Amino acid sequence: MKELESRIKAKGLNDVEVKQYMCFGACQEGPNVVVYPEKSWYAHVKTEDLDDIVAHLAGGPHVQRLDTIDSSLKDLIYQLLDTGVF
Amino acid sequence: MEGILFPKGVPEGRESLQQYRSRGGYEALVKAVKGAPEDVVKIVADSGLRGHGGAGFPAGKKWQFTRDAPEQPRYLVMNGGEDEPGSRKDRILLENVPHLVIEGAVLGAFAIGASKAYLYINAKYEAATQIVKEALAEAKAAGYWGEKICGSNFSCDIELVAAPHNYVAGEDTAVIEVIEGKQPKPRQKPPFPVTVGLFGKPTSVNNVETLANVPRILLKGAAWYRGFGTADCPGTMLFSLNETEEVNKPGIYELPFGTPLRYLIEECGGGMKAGHKIKAIMPASPSSAYLKPDKLDTPLEPNAMRDAGSALGCGVVHIVREGTSIVDELVRVTDFFAVESCGQCPACQMETKSLAMLMKKVQQGQGNAAMLEQFGKLIAFNKGKGFCNLIGMPGPPIESALKLFPEDFQARMAS
């Protein structure tokens, strides 16, 4: 998480905030990174994936290879985030 | 009507071996070990005795399944992990009638052919543990457990195990994990403990109250036991009405299954203190649906409670008085499950934490319609997931409260 924060900072993405979420219900597929409110979910994230994620945050392409989470779980968590609970 | 566990009410202090014998104590064991274990299983099955730990599984059937499993050795585990908020029935049995419980455990071991029994007792029950230790020493000296019990060829060793005091440590497979020296985390089922249990061998895990019923069933017969309760659910159950319930006479009450809920609260409990009115009742705290007072005549019996929309569980009856916000109630409930989830199943972790977080937001006046919808979605999404039943426990209180008391939620919506 610290590495992600530092790469986002290095890229000058001042409108991106990294927050820890209490539980996505997908520990077996972690580490998980959810990009919100855009709604992208990256699973099994490794340090070597961070540049691609940061590039996406900077307007680059979606990182398809990390998009492996079941759509029903994604929908549930996105709806939960949409309520403003977090 | 006399009770089964406490024929003359809950005795003062610990019942001695002599006192227990004077009312027929250990006679069932002396008689049973002269016969066949199958006879014990049959009488208990015929009696209709159900498990009293919450699930209500027929005890005779559990013992038969354990006996039928081909592996040897077999084990009996008495589950006194009791950690449901407000439940103290098992502690009362262990402290006041320890020999009744011990006789029940030895009879259970005999019935399933176990040469080793474990008595698993909540570690915070220090007095109960000490009392059981003393009673075990007396019973062993008298030949009621150990080698060649009551002069028979049946031998059974007994070991006490301290149960960690958290809720999930009372789940039967978590009990087995603890006895094996591991963390109290439930196992995935199947296989069930009756086939693959303690150390991988057939194991019957029985609640303290279940085992305490066995000696008198064997002594007086299945038909006698069926004289209590209902046809579907014979016998009695210990119901807990705690100090916090604001009734005039809190206590542990043994009542036949089928007794109206109203009788427990008004006759046994003496009604509500200071004229308070009842807003809702949770018959199996903390995991059952709430009922409104118009259901006060529902019989205390699993099927009737299910038909009324709730459950009986292990008899911890919680009363919500008028003037209490059901949202405040649910913050307590959801916090409990979020804390008690053992964390090994991601779905359970996510569900319980999300529900608690949502409920706190509502309590803080930051709720919205979308949040209220999320409760049902989270519960439905996670239904049936996880290794144990905990994942399904927050659902009934939340969903019943949303249905019965929508105004309490509306009152906390963000303006």
Instruction: Please give the single-letter amino acid code of residue B311.
Output: A
Any CB–CB contact under 8 A between B377 and chain A? yes
Flag whether pLDDT at B280 surpasses 90: yes
Contact call for B357 and A86, based on CB within 8 A: yes
Contact call for A23 and B353, based on CB within 8 A: yes
CA distance A2 to chain B (A): 23
User: In chain A, which residues have their Cβ closer than 8 Å to the Cβ of B351?
Assistant: 25
Flag whether pLDDT at B320 surpasses 70: yes
**Location of structure tokens 């262990």:** B94
Any CB–CB contact under 8 A between B344 and chain A? no
CA distance B361 to B74: 50
Flag whether pLDDT at B360 surpasses 90: yes
Per-residue pLDDT, A23: 85
Q: By three-state DSSP, how is residue A86 classified?
A: coil
Mean per-residue pLDDT for B354-371? 95
Per-residue pLDDT, A85: 83
Percent of chain B with pLDDT over 90: 93
Mean per-residue pLDDT for B73-85? 95
Which tokens belong to B122? 């909540």
* CATH class of the domain at B326-410: mainly alpha
Per-residue pLDDT, B1: 61
CA distance B170 to B163: 8
User: In chain B, which residues have their Cβ closer than 8 Å to the Cβ of A22?
Assistant: 353-354, 357
Rg (CA), chain A: 12
CA distance B9 to B254: 8
User: In chain B, which residues have their Cβ closer than 8 Å to the Cβ of A82?
Assistant: 370
- The count of other CB atoms within 10 Å of the CB of residue B18 is 10
Instruction: Please give the single-letter amino acid code of residue B233.
Output: C
Fold of B17-225: Rossmann fold (3.40.50)
**Three-state DSSP string of chain B:** CCCCCCECECCCCCCCHHHHHHCCCCHHHHHHCCCCHHHHHHHHHHHCCECCCCCCCEHHHHHHHHHHCCCCCEEEEEEECCCCCCCCHHHHHHHHCHHHHHHHHHHHHHHHCEEEEEEEEECCCHHHHHHHHHHHHHHHHCCCCECCHHHCCCCEEEEEEEECCCHHHHCHHHHHHHHCCCCCCCCCCCCCCCCCCHHHCCEEEEEHHHHHHHHHHHHHCHHHHCCCECCCCECEEEEEECHHHCECCCEEEEEECCCEHHHHHHHHCCCEHHHCCEEEEECCCCCCCCECHHHCCCECCHHHHHHCCCCCCCCECEEEECCCCHHHHHHHHHHHHHHHCCCCCHHHHHHHHHHHHHHHHHHCCCECHHHHHHHHHHHHHHCCCCCCHHHHCCHHHHHHHHHHCHHHHHCCECC
CB pairs under 8 A between A and B: 49
Average pLDDT, chain B: 96
Mean per-residue pLDDT for B146-170? 96
HSE of A46, CA atoms in CB hemisphere, 13 A:
2
Q: Band the pLDDT of B329: cuts 50, 70, 90.
A: very high
pLDDT digits (tens, 9 = 90+) for B281-316: 999 989 999 999 999 999 999 999 999 999 999 999
Flag whether pLDDT at A84 surpasses 90: no
User: In chain B, which residues have their Cβ closer than 8 Å to the Cβ of A25?
Assistant: 346-347, 349-351, 382
- Kindly list the domain boundaries of chain B, sorted by start residue: 17-225, 236-321, 326-410
Instruction: Please give the single-letter amino acid code of residue B82.
Output: E
pLDDT digits (tens, 9 = 90+) for B179-237: 999 999 999 999 999 999 999 999 999 999 999 999 999 999 999 999 999 999 999 99
Instruction: Note the CATH number of domain B236-321.
Output: 3.10.20.600
Per-residue pLDDT, B195: 97
pTM: 0.93
Average pLDDT, chain A: 94
Q: Are B371 and B361 in contact (CB under 8 A)?
A: yes
Any CB–CB contact under 8 A between A71 and chain B? no
Of B79, B4, B6, nearest in space to B252 by CA: B6
Those residues whose C-beta lies under 8 Å from the C-beta of residue A27, and which sit 6 or more positions away, are: B346, B349
pLDDT digits (tens, 9 = 90+) for B229-273: 999 999 999 999 988 888 999 999 999 999 999 999 999 999 999
- The count of other CB atoms within 10 Å of the CB of residue B216 is 23
Mean per-residue pLDDT for B3-16? 88
A36: left (phi over 0), alpha (psi -120 to 50) or beta: beta
User: In chain B, which residues have their Cβ closer than 8 Å to the Cβ of A78?
Assistant: none
pLDDT digits (tens, 9 = 90+) for B397-414: 999 999 999 999 999 988
Q: By three-state DSSP, how is residue A20 classified?
A: coil
Mean per-residue pLDDT for B356-362? 96
pLDDT digits (tens, 9 = 90+) for B385-399: 999 999 999 999 999
CA distance B322 to chain A (A): 29
Mean per-residue pLDDT for B358-384? 95
> Nearest Cβ partner of A84 from B347, B368, B381?
B368
Tell me the domains of chain A and their CATH numbers: 2-82 (3.40.30.10)
Q: Are B415 and B369 in contact (CB under 8 A)?
A: no
Complex ipTM: 0.87
